[in-house]
């Protein structure tokens, strides 16, 4: 009898805790983590902002497929601010998403993008980690632009010299406000600016002097820097010129984020005031930044 009363008491307490947890869950406001493009615009144009924006390298592709429409959708779901995707030109002049010069690594096909026609490329499927195969074929640049329109910013990594085709596609889709044109070759950025003076370009700088030259030449909203000269002096100069600092967390830093050393990595990345971090681990980085009040 005594044992029954003890069991009954435990069950009553457990039931009460369960009901409280259900009530708490049902009354707690849901957190919308999806990308809010209006916030990204605001933060990107506020050089004094303390918010750290996150750029998903080749889209949110971990457990997914890089440079894919699916990787764009996943980035938006996570609340990523910017997707970085690579653009190349096919043999017959179509613009498509692809990082490598060859399609061997990321599709079921083989060959160089520039040696294959668009029709040939579309016969292959995208591939991912551990031999996974997508239902998705290689996307066109225009398809990607239509997917990001009004939803998330697109950092266009120019793996092509076809500046005219890229600018025309952006104009056609009405996405000029949603894109940043990136190249580590200034002549390509020069061609883009000649085609449309209102384009947002992101120059690559490999020294403090190159960053200064980029500010004078392009008056950019953002400058992509290398870590070798990432200092508070540089950040101060760029912010005084209404530019933001883009830095990468790719390679070893992302590996450390993935396997647990994320606090030290983040501290090193933002110690001199970087505003945008490009990563292959956007989900983990976003969680870390939000836990520290550094991301909206």
Active site residues per annotation: 57, 99
Q: What is the 3-state secondary structure (H, E, C) of 97-113?
A: ECCCCECCCCECCCCEH
Alpha carbon of 202 to those of 110, 122, 219, 273: distances in Å? 32, 31, 10, 18
- Say if residues 87 and 97 touch (Cβ distance below 8 Å): yes
Contact of 140 with 68, CB cutoff 8 Å = no
Alpha helices (H) along the chain: 2-27, 37-44, 69-78, 118-121, 141-148, 163-173, 186-195, 208-218, 232-240, 252-258, 262-270, 282-291
Q: Rounding to the nearest 10 degrees, give the CA dihedral for residues 110, 114, 120, 125.
A: 50
Greatest CA separation found in the chain? Answer: 89
Q: CA-CA distance, 52 to 277, in Å (whole number)?
A: 7
**H-helix or E-strand containing 170?**
helix 163-173
Residue 244: phi, psi to the nearest 5? -110, 165
> Residue 246's beta-bridge partner residues?
224, 276
Cα 56 from Cα 76, distance rounded (Å): 10
Block residue for tokens 């406000």: 177
What residue has token string 């303390």?
50
Q: Strand pairing partners for 107? A: 126
- Three-state DSSP class for residue 185: coil
């Amino acid at each position: 009898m005594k044992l029954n009363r003890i069991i009954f008491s435990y069950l009553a307490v457990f039931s009460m805790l369960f009901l409280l947890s259900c009530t708490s869950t049902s009354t707690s406001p849901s957190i919308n983590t999806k990308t809010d493009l209006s916030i990204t615009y605001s933060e990107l144009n506020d050089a004094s902002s303390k918010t750290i924006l996150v750029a998903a390298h080749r889209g949110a592709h971990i457990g997914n497929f890089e440079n894919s429409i699916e990787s764009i959708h996943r980035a938006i779901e996570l609340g990523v601010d910017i997707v970085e995707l690579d653009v190349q030109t096919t043999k017959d002049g179509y613009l498509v998403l692809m990082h490598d010069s060859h399609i061997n690594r990321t599709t079921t096909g083989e060959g160089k993008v520039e040696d294959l026609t668009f029709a040939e490329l579309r016969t292959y499927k995208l591939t991912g980690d551990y031999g996974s195969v997508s239902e998705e074929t290689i996307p066109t640049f225009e398809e990607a632009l239509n997917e990001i329109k009004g939803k998330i910013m697109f950092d266009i990594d120019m793996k092509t010299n076809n500046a005219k085709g890229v600018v025309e596609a952006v104009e056609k889709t009405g996405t000029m406000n949603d894109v940043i044109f990136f190249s580590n070759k200034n002549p390509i950025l020069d061609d883009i600016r000649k085609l449309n003076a209102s384009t947002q370009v992101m120059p690559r700088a490999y020294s403090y002097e190159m960053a200064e030259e980029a500010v004078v030449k392009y008056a950019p909203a953002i400058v992509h820097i290398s870590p070798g000269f990432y200092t508070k002096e540089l950040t101060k100069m760029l912010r005084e010129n209404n530019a933001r600092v883009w830095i990468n967390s790719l390679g070893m830093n992302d590996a450390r984020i993935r396997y647990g050393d994320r606090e030290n990595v983040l501290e090193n990345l933002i110690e001199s005031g970087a505003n945008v971090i490009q990563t292959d681990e956007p989900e983990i980085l976003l969680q870390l930044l939000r836990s520290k009040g550094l991301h909206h």
